[in-house]
A and B are shown apart, each in its own frame.
Chain A
């Protein structure tokens, strides 16, 4: 009996490990930015290219940065959720227009609705690289002190907004802006 038991236990253990791996998405990576200061940038705004925006200007408030592009198919999947979030006026959403043509980007926002307070233009993708973006769309939540508290790679879903982002935003808004 005992000699069957040991391999059986191994088999069960191995099955458990492999079964757990099945539901595990290897494309999802933990962001190295959680808990770190949001990398700085100084980028022109899509709506007014003579004005620029930087994370320092957004200090003192909780804000969401959504990396998007007009060429990005899966950004379209999350767009309605973003527009709905913006309409609630809970948290300001800023866009990072990643490697895009400004005209195509403006056209897309006009057509689909603009959930962003403002979008920053990142035509070279350098700011995207500074934020470790590897698949558009990506969404970051930045707290009052300018620290990244959440990152999601891939389209937002209503469920992700309701269960992860909004509760986090509310608790961050409750935090003071000073350490």
Chain B
């Protein structure tokens, strides 16, 4: 019984570890800059809020510019799809389509203009990646830096299942130790068969 519990624990730990591996990759990518300190985050956000306030005051509504009357529904859907495939660098957990950040509004505008000018999705993707790196993509490419991100969870799952199977098989092979004469006598007595 104990071994099963331990085995299940291992599988659980593997699961958690695979989730950690996801952030681990990001960590590797950031390792070279992580030493720069964390004290400035709030200040940055603060500045961005300021900037938002300013832009909205200056330029009126900047969000939703993609709902331009000149765009056909198909084109609007394509623009929307593109916007949803990029991460907003300022709020990081939002797509460019969802974000209200100033920079996201600018990038929506750029996507919009490029689509109108006939740029392909690949060209727009390249435009973003040259400027902001793979981090801007919600669907990161499979390459040396990201292989752990893609494969890590499966490797860990396989490892956990393998260990679990090993423990179960081992348990199945186990035979109870033979009873001593005294135990056999006692067993017979208890079974009412002296």
Contacts and interface: CB of A to CB of B under 8 A. Distances in A.
A28 B30 contact: yes
Contact of A129 (B29, B44, B131): B131
Interface in B25-80: 26-27, 29-30, 32-34, 36-38, 40-41, 43-44, 46-48, 50-51, 54-55
Contact of B17 (A13, A69, A135): A13
Contacts of A134: 89-90, 103, 132
B3 interface: yes
Interface string A60-71: 000000000101
Contacts of B37: 25, 157
Main SS of the interface on chain B?
helix
A26 B30 contact: yes
B16 interface: yes
A30 B133 contact: yes
A7 B26 contact: no
A26 B9 contact: no
Main SS of the interface on chain A?
loop
B161 interface: no
Contacts of B23: 21
Nearest to A98: B51
Interface in A47-82: 69, 71-75, 77
Contact of A73 (B33, B47, B90): B47
A17 B24 CA distance: 7
Contacts of A74: 40, 43-44, 46-47
Interface in A14-31: 14, 17-18, 20-21, 23-31
Contact of A28 (B9, B36, B50): B36
A86 to B, nearest CB: 21
A24 B27 contact: yes
B107 interface: yes
Contacts, number: 127
A18 B21 CA distance: 10
Contacts of A131: 131
Given A3-B3, A26-B26, A28-B34, A129 B110 contact: yes
Interface-centre pick from B6, B10, B20, B40 (highest chain A CB count, 10 A):
B40
Given A18-B20, A72-B51, A134-B89, A7 B9 contact: yes
Contacts of A135: 44, 47-48, 89-90
Nearest to A77: B43
A83 B36 CA distance: 21
A152 interface: yes
Contacts of A30: 29-30, 32-33, 133
Contacts of A89: none
A14 B6 contact: no
B153 to A, nearest CB: 14
B54 A71 contact: yes
Contact of A75 (B41, B47, B135): B47
Interface of A: 3, 6-7, 10-11, 13-14, 17-18, 20-21, 23-32, 69, 71-75, 77, 99, 125, 129-132, 134-137, 152-155, 157, 160
| 3 closest A-B pairs by CB | A74-B43, A134-B89, A154-B40
